[in-house]
Amino acid sequence: MDELDRSIMGLLGADARMSVATLARRLKVARSTIQARLERLETTGIIAGYTLKLGENARQGRLRASVLLTIEPRAQAGILTRLKAIAEVERAYTTSGRFDLLLQIAAPSTQVLDQVLDQIGALTGVLSSESLIHLSTRIDRAV
């Protein structure tokens, strides 16, 4: 991956709907060059897809939380299988340090969030959990 690839991904990260012609114009290269680069980035798996990034207005009415889990040794596979069945669990990350898993949760109300947190805490193999409710987004550079 070179500087042109990184520039293409940076522009698409800001606006995934940007046309190939606009990318070529902004980067001052031929449209065919951009098209070839995009095809290579897609076939090599560097670009896995194009997506919609919701703004704050679309996220209103949804509570978000991070949940840190400490789990029993060798329980991770079973816990992850059960977490996949909980629709409010958007992402699960393995971590280093004090906690074993970090979950990203989104729920429509405090009642639903409370139920989900109880459900996660009751999973076999979960030793402890700590929840952090997201209040406002100050920086968002996620691509």
Both 27 and 95 in one domain: the answer is: no
Q: Indicate if 64 and 123 belong to the same structural domain.
A: yes
Q: Are residues 62 and 32 located together in one domain of the fold?
A: no
Same domain membership, residue 27 and residue 64: no
pLDDT in tens, 21-69: 999 999 999 999 999 999 999 999 999 888 777 666 665 668 999 999 9
Which residue range is the domain that position 111 belongs to?
Answer: 56-133
The verdict on 32 and 67 lying in the same domain is no
Query: Which H or E run contains 132?
Result: strand 126-133
CATH of the domain at 72: 3.30.70.920
Identify the helix (H) or strand (E) that includes residue 121.
helix 110-121
Angle, vertex CA 73, rays to CA 68 and CA 75, nearest 5: 75
pTM of the full structure: 0.66
